[in-house]
Structure 1
Amino acid sequence: MGRAFEVRKVAMAKTNAAKSKIYAKYGKEIYMAAKSGSPDPETNQALKRVIEKAKKEQVTADVIKRAIDKAKGGSDENYTSARYEGFGPGNSLFIIECLTDNVNRTIAEVRNCFTKTGGKLGISGSVVHQFNHFSVFTLPEVTEDEILEILVMNDVDVSDIETDEVGVTIYGTADDYNAIRTAVLEANPDIEFETEEIMWLPIMETTIDSDDQKEAFDKLMQMLDEIDDVQDVYHNVAL
């Protein structure tokens, strides 16, 4: 089905997670974005981006408001971004993005997930080189020529463009997220993105054929999803 389908599958997997997990995830991200800058999304682009993503995943206005109000109230609560890399069942590789107020607790919980499913937590850099850190946008009801014209007119370089039955998917570096998004929206302010994410995409995918390893992989994914500090999980397994 192509890489564009795999990208949407990653986004859909997040959407299908438990609401409480989604609310907690975005509550932390909104709070930290508001605390580190202005609590006004019109003057804080990082906050605006997180709020837009949260709304797409049906996070309620009340959850968003509470997180911003918490930042405005001067709460001393603080979270640290942490990234862990691991080797799972079969030839599976993992990148786990976390936001935590206790790094020691989080790394212990993540390590436990791998240990109990026959994998192991790797050192920093042991897995990440097998992934690309991309900003990814899928735009329905546009043509590749239209997107190319927008990008060329705005002098925006991208890594790749793919077209399928849903629309056009743009791949750029993570640093080019704002440049790509701004160029597209200035050309067409009413466009709605099917996908607008910064994500880790595997350079090569793998398959898991053994039933035992598939069971262990599913258990690992479930255990990681149950950790409150885990924000996103990326892997190289073709599902």
Structure 2
Amino acid sequence: MGRAFEVRKASMAKTAAARSKVYAKYGREIYMAAKAGVPDPEMNQVLKRVIERAKKDQVSADVIHRAIEKAKGGSDDNYIAVRYEGFGPGTSQLVVECLTDNVNRTVSEVRTCFNKTGGKLGSVLHMFESKSVFTFKGTEDEVLMILLDAGVDVSNYEIDEEYITLYAEPTSYSEVRNALKNAMPDLEFEEDGVKWLPLAATELTDEKESEQFQRLLDMLDELDDVQDVYHNVK
């Protein structure tokens, strides 16, 4: 078949694995949101927002439908949210959010990722802050006027060319989102969620540390239980 075929085959396999990971991630989130409330996105705003994010990440309608039907069917599958913190290579710090049905398995797998890349689990959450983050196309004057009219407060905002990013307290997530969507019904978010942001960023100037850090991210990304990873590296 030749080298070119093998390269294409490996690339296709990697793409398929990444797509499978995304499907599994959203499948769990949709299932838990549907099970925790009404399995109808028009009556369950949490479920509706998860589905919106899933569609933006090109999750198929079949995956979404099967997750909702699974919740409707009364499946006894139960996932719990767990968070792990750790020190990565160099001065890197990470927060790893997971959704799992087996905590012992998950902590063992996450710890292995850290250990194999020169890191370790440990307390770093005090070096992060939880914020509602919204990134979308818009103008400063328009967005600030919408928030002012709605009586909604944001802690900070950034402008990068045609995009604006708003930061608000986690408790204000729904309030800010609803104000934006009510004023701009067709608004599509590039980012939309409650995230852990580092209080101070760091740079990994050592090549080996930089490579190990990337390897750590790749290893964590391969774990089915890992939903999101936040870190302080620029």
TM-score normalized by the length of structure 1: 0.89
| Counterpart check, 1:229 vs 2:207 | no
Query: The residue matched to 2:208 in structure 1 has which SS?
Result: helix
Work out whether residues 138 and 170 of structure 1, in 8 Å CA contact, stay in contact via their aligned partners in 2.
yes
| Counterpart check, 1:139 vs 2:136 | yes
Partner residue of 1:208 out of 191, 204, 209: 204
Query: The residue matched to 1:34 in structure 2 has which SS?
Result: helix
Aligned-pair CA distance for 1:166: 2.5
Q: 1:168 is aligned with what amino acid?
A: I
Query: The residue matched to 2:134 in structure 1 has which SS?
Result: strand
* Cα deviations by residue, 1:178-229 (Å, 9 ceiling, x for unpaired): 1111001111212222221221111111011112111211111111111110
Work out whether residues 144 and 161 of structure 1, in 8 Å CA contact, stay in contact via their aligned partners in 2.
no
In the other structure, the counterpart of 2:105 is 105
Q: 1:110 is aligned with what amino acid?
A: V
Partner residue of 1:199 out of 178, 195, 199: 195
* Aligned counterparts of 2:173 and 2:45: Cα–Cα separation in 1: 12
Aligned-pair CA distance for 1:139: 2.2
| Counterpart check, 1:65 vs 2:65 | yes
Bigger mean CA offset, 76-85 vs 220-229: 220-229
* Cα deviations by residue, 1:80-125 (Å, 9 ceiling, x for unpaired): 0000000000000000000000001100110111111111101xxx
Q: 1:231 is aligned with what amino acid?
A: Q
* Aligned counterparts of 1:58 and 1:199: Cα–Cα separation in 2: 21
Structure 1: segments with no counterpart, 5+ residues: 1-16
Aligned-pair CA distance for 1:65: 0.2
Equivalenced residue count is: 220
Bigger mean CA offset, 30-39 vs 142-151: 142-151
In the other structure, the counterpart of 1:182 is 178
Work out whether residues 135 and 171 of structure 1, in 8 Å CA contact, stay in contact via their aligned partners in 2.
yes
In the other structure, the counterpart of 2:30 is 30
* Aligned counterparts of 1:161 and 1:117: Cα–Cα separation in 2: 35
* Aligned counterparts of 2:223 and 2:45: Cα–Cα separation in 1: 28
* Cα deviations by residue, 1:18-51 (Å, 9 ceiling, x for unpaired): 1111000000000000001100011111111110
In the other structure, the counterpart of 1:50 is 50
Work out whether residues 139 and 162 of structure 2, in 8 Å CA contact, stay in contact via their aligned partners in 1.
no
Aligned-pair CA distance for 1:232: 0.6
Query: The residue matched to 1:53 in structure 2 has which SS?
Result: helix
The structure that has the greater radius of gyration is 2
Q: 2:71 is aligned with what amino acid?
A: A
Partner residue of 1:149 out of 139, 145, 149: 145
| Counterpart check, 1:121 vs 2:117 | no
* Aligned counterparts of 1:114 and 1:41: Cα–Cα separation in 2: 38
Query: The residue matched to 2:189 in structure 1 has which SS?
Result: coil
Q: How well do the aligned residues superpose, as a CA RMSD in angstroms?
A: 1.6
Identity value in percent: 62
